[in-house]
Structure 1
Amino acid sequence: MTVARIAAAGLALLLATACTAPPPPRGQSSTAAGTVCAPPHGTPGAETPTTIDVIEQAYFCILGNYYSGATLDARSLLTAGFTALTQELDHHGRDLPGATMPALTGDRKADWAAFETVYRKITDQVPDLRDKLAIATLEAIVAGLGDDHADWIHGVKQPPDYYDGDGYGLGLEANVDASQADGDLGVAVPPLFVTTVLGGAARAAGLRPGDIIESINESAPFIDDRATPAITALYPQYPEARQVRLRLLRKGTGRRWSVTLQPGLFQRDLAALQVVRSKLLDDDIAYVRLTAFAPDSADRVLRAISQLRKGRTLSGVVLDLRGNSDGGLTEVTRLVSAFVHGKVTAYHCTVDGTCAASRTDDTVGLLNLPLTVLTDRGCASACEQFGSAVKDLRIGRLVGTRTAGVVSGPAQAYLLADNTLLSFPAKHHLGPNREVIDRIGVPPDHYVPLTPEDTAAGRDPALAKALTLLHK
């Protein structure tokens, strides 16, 4: 999701008029403090310190605009925030005898007032920690939603040209995608192995695809086939970066060895960073790899297929969506519409079950070609919307592994008074058959996982299966 930022002067005008204006227009909501919770317009100024007033604005913004805000037990958010507050105090060795959660009754405004009173008493006693406590509290309130499309965007922003395939600048990609490392590691399946060596420290250390990572900083990535927090050491948040020590096994030779990799940026292959890449396979199959449903990506895919179709008869299309975890609904709809017309591609629903249907764009010309789609746990969000449409509408077959289950709903950004952005869905996503995909994912029609042996040998079993299906 791309969000605009608003100028400081524009923000001051917006807040000043909001205090005296009639009820805000559609798409905005007033907080108890009188400020407006509204999408940004323009570019905001520099961030200012997060205060209890900003936390209040975010709290009422969530209750007024989040998908289930009308029915949400707000006490759960305040409890999450207060828990983080006390943990931050303890982390700094500054716990206080009065840092006790106030009694909450379920009255949202009264509960906020009680929370704010205690919060101010605490922070007044540790003024040097005020900023850290505010950040920890608001982060926890947003995390308390348990929504994979809810976020508070603040602090250090990674540069616009920054790309780090494994999250660490080591030049490797493993078989656990970053969304798993940041969230539910329960979906990770052993062993943890290198799938690609991109360059940098990993290449310099001689790592190869298929090498199994047996330990990370002396800790096992899996115990009893269950993922451990050790994996997250490979996926820190920007700009954190610490050297990492890996214990590796190369099954083909039986070699075991350890390397210490120092993170750092490195030159990437620019061709590998292209959103759309295509080639002809077996003289009659159009293979297209799409790494994100970025603006204009659907048309670029269709142009690539058209180019491959010139002068020959194609037997089908392989669309490789493995690792595709970003993009917008418009591009999903346009690409689905190249394979079917007159269908519902998804539903976006309010908490009371009122749903708006997203339909195919029947101005897009039909390809009239068989389709197979390659998916994995790195296929998330917009990618899962596409995959569920392909499966439910029977316009193709999915090959690979289940998708990520990270598709709660399209997120909307709201500007807070400290020039940070709060982002969450106003509606919940359902597939074309009205099924929940969030946290569950879309299962493949043909389960074909990647193995270290296949990776080491340069084999792609999912692609091979897709080609077999199209040639039947």
Structure 2
Amino acid sequence: MTAKTVKTVTAGLAVLLAAACTASTPPRTLPGATATGGPAVCDRPRGNPAPETPTTIDVVEQAYFCILAEYYSGATLDARTLLGAGFVAFTQELIRDGHDLPDATMPALTGDRKADWAAFEKVYRRVTDQLPDDAGLRKKLAAATLQAIVDSLGDNHARWQHGEQRPPDYYDGDQYGLGLRANAGPQVAGNPGTALAPLFVTVVAGGPAKAAGLRPGDVIESINGSAPFIGEAVIAAAVAALYPRYPEAGPVRLRVLRPDTGRHRTVTLKPGLYQPDPATTQLVTSKLLKDDIAYVKLGGFAPDAADRVFKEISRLRSGRTLTGLVLDLRGNGGGSPDEANRLLGAFAHGKVTAYQCAVDGTCETMRTDDTVALLNLPLTVLTDRGCASACEHFSSAVKDLGLGRLIGTRTAGVVSGPAQPYLLSDNTLLGFPSQHHLAPNREVIDRVGVAPDFYVPPTPRDAATGRDPALAKALTLLHK
């Protein structure tokens, strides 16, 4: 990439959707029609999408039929749940904008997908025809309706990707946000069980957090005036504010406690673009530990991740005999399942690593990449609640196949299935799985996560002092 390449997506699912934009699958005609009589099309993206245009009810229709045709359980899904959620969001947006109308009443739905859409659209258009001639309001109503339909799937790999274009001066090395990470990640909104009290800073990557003097170990007592936990229950919306999405983000007010001094203070961080500390953004880092044990940290399963890991291990192996490997997957948000299979191929051959299953129970097997040479090293893997998606694919295979031992905390439970992208007519991307993931023993780990063999949770004091009890446990196991 050139230095001024504009990034349109951030990480995790957004990366997968963008990467898949090179697909050239021909469009599929779906049941249903647009208001102009043309077919609703579920189109796979080709190249980078053109600039976005306003979202309309026709785009909502396209997304509705696309989900019913291509989503994992689309064939058996009661479409009334989609339309019900969409209409709730539509009316709530009307109320917020002071335009509630008597005609904004949910139509009777029968379970006939086409007829129900026609009834929904008729009411929608009748209501919006009575509104002021305000293009922004109409776009907001359609966007709220579409977002609610996607959210009603309750699938952590279903997403409508829109409104995320970065400004022209956005550099590849820049990041956007507050410049910190905590022991609860952005996936908390979809799976509140991924967060455990107390909430504390684990990494200061740069930007606003660094400028404000925040440090690892600082306990976050409130976010915009809201406690992140009430008892043991996480307030997901509060925690999600630590990971603002571009461009709809404002200042975030944090009250923090520094445990070693007992000092409380309040800081206001304004999200923005910043140049991060390179040490916090490297995809792969490595070092040699005591007794010739290799340590490799992998931040994500990018398209070349496995080969980069192999390169680091080869470098550490030069001139010595390695006695073991610690693979640190903490905070690894996932990526390509093919890269997970390639990395697993370094520890076993001829093994099933996962199953991708249709709603009727038929499954496709995913296997180790047996073109990879075996490393023949004892393996320990460090996991936490930030290990999601392809990271969980890898971790569950390590555990089920007996390839090594997991140390740390349970993984995120965000692994419903690989998302497939579809281009909507407003040039936004709709992504969701066509199959669902099962681990090698055919267990469901989505929403459950993968439990470690040795539970070693982090603490604020560990973060503040740089101690790493999970790594210490891994070294103890490898020395046995």
Residue 65 of structure 1: how far off its partner (Å):
0.7
Which deviates more, 121-130 or 323-332? 121-130
Which residue of the partner structure matches residue 19 of structure 1?
Answer: none
Instruction: State the superposition RMSD in angstroms.
Output: 2.1
Which residue of the partner structure matches residue 125 of structure 1?
Answer: 130
- Is 1:37–2:37 an aligned residue pair? no
- Return the match for 1:210 from 210, 217, 222: 217
Residue 26 of structure 1: how far off its partner (Å):
8.1
Aligned amino acid, residue 73 of structure 2 = S
Change (3 A) 1:59 1:316: same
1:422-461 correspondence runs (5 A): 422-461=430-469
Which residue of the partner structure matches residue 342 of structure 1?
Answer: 350
Instruction: Answer whether contact 2:291 2:323 (CA < 8 A) is retained.
Output: no
Instruction: Answer whether contact 1:31 1:37 (CA < 8 A) is retained.
Output: no
Give distance in 1, aligned partners of 2:60 and 2:264: 51
Aligned amino acid, residue 459 of structure 1 = R
Which residue of the partner structure matches residue 57 of structure 2?
Answer: 52
Change (3 A) 1:57 1:219: closer
Give distance in 2, aligned partners of 1:71 and 1:456: 50
Which residue of the partner structure matches residue 388 of structure 2?
Answer: 380
Give distance in 1, aligned partners of 2:264 and 2:26: 62
Which residue of the partner structure matches residue 392 of structure 1?
Answer: 400
Which residue of the partner structure matches residue 225 of structure 1?
Answer: 232
Residue 99 of structure 1: how far off its partner (Å):
0.3
Which residue of the partner structure matches residue 13 of structure 2?
Answer: none
1:186-201 correspondence runs (5 A): 186-201=193-208
Which residue of the partner structure matches residue 406 of structure 1?
Answer: 414
Residue 300 of structure 1: how far off its partner (Å):
0.9
The Cα offsets for residues 45-74 of structure 1, whole Å up to 9 and x where unpaired, read as 222222222211111111111110000000
Instruction: Answer whether contact 2:173 2:275 (CA < 8 A) is retained.
Output: no
Instruction: Answer whether contact 1:4 1:42 (CA < 8 A) is retained.
Output: no
Change (3 A) 1:400 1:95: same
Instruction: Answer whether contact 1:29 1:64 (CA < 8 A) is retained.
Output: no
The Cα offsets for residues 57-94 of structure 1, whole Å up to 9 and x where unpaired, read as 11111111111000000000000000000000001011
Give distance in 1, aligned partners of 2:321 and 2:149: 56
Residue 6 of structure 1: how far off its partner (Å):
8.0
- Is 1:300–2:308 an aligned residue pair? yes
1:7-406 correspondence runs (5 A): 28-33=28-33, 34-126=39-131, 127-128=133-134, 129-158=137-166, 161=171, 168-169=177-178, 171-180=179-188, 182-228=189-235, 229-406=237-414
Secondary structure in 2 matching 1:32: strand
Give distance in 1, aligned partners of 2:398 and 2:70: 31
Aligned amino acid, residue 202 of structure 1 = A
Instruction: Answer whether contact 1:5 1:43 (CA < 8 A) is retained.
Output: no
Aligned amino acid, residue 307 of structure 1 = R
Give distance in 2, aligned partners of 1:27 and 1:280: 50
Change (3 A) 1:393 1:271: same
The Cα offsets for residues 221-274 of structure 1, whole Å up to 9 and x where unpaired, read as 212122123323322221133223322222222222223333333321224322
Give distance in 2, aligned partners of 1:418 and 1:359: 38
Instruction: Figure out how many residues of one structure are paired with residues of the other and give that number.
Output: 453
Change (3 A) 1:161 1:351: farther
Give distance in 2, aligned partners of 1:285 and 1:268: 29
Give distance in 1, aligned partners of 2:422 and 2:275: 35
Instruction: Give unpaired runs (5+ residues) of structure 1.
Output: 8-13, 15-24
Aligned amino acid, residue 190 of structure 2 = G
Secondary structure in 2 matching 1:113: helix
Change (3 A) 1:4 1:272: closer
Which deviates more, 238-247 or 298-307? 238-247
The Cα offsets for residues 316-372 of structure 1, whole Å up to 9 and x where unpaired, read as 111111111131011100000100011101100100000010111211110111111
TM-score normalised according to structure 1 size = 0.91
Residue 193 of structure 1: how far off its partner (Å):
1.1
Give distance in 2, aligned partners of 1:232 and 1:406: 16
Change (3 A) 1:145 1:161: farther
Give distance in 1, aligned partners of 2:177 and 2:271: 6
Give distance in 1, aligned partners of 2:124 and 2:195: 39
Give distance in 2, aligned partners of 1:215 and 1:348: 40
Give distance in 1, aligned partners of 2:383 and 2:435: 25
Give distance in 2, aligned partners of 1:231 and 1:87: 24
- Return the match for 1:3 from 14, 18, 27: 18
Give distance in 2, aligned partners of 1:201 and 1:50: 33
Give distance in 2, aligned partners of 1:43 and 1:246: 37
The Cα offsets for residues 155-197 of structure 1, whole Å up to 9 and x where unpaired, read as 23246746787x632x3221111111x3233431111111122
Which deviates more, 61-70 or 245-254? 245-254
Aligned amino acid, residue 72 of structure 1 = L
Instruction: Answer whether contact 2:355 2:366 (CA < 8 A) is retained.
Output: yes
Which deviates more, 359-368 or 30-39? 30-39
Instruction: Answer whether contact 2:420 2:433 (CA < 8 A) is retained.
Output: yes
Instruction: Answer whether contact 1:29 1:65 (CA < 8 A) is retained.
Output: no
Residue 29 of structure 1: how far off its partner (Å):
4.0
Instruction: Answer whether contact 2:17 2:429 (CA < 8 A) is retained.
Output: no
Change (3 A) 1:261 1:417: closer
Give distance in 2, aligned partners of 1:451 and 1:95: 49
Give distance in 1, aligned partners of 2:268 and 2:139: 35
Secondary structure in 2 matching 1:35: strand
Which deviates more, 236-245 or 84-93? 236-245
Secondary structure in 1 matching 2:119: helix
Which residue of the partner structure matches residue 7 of structure 2?
Answer: none
Instruction: Answer whether contact 1:174 1:193 (CA < 8 A) is retained.
Output: yes
Residue 4 of structure 1: how far off its partner (Å):
6.3
Give distance in 2, aligned partners of 1:75 and 1:202: 45
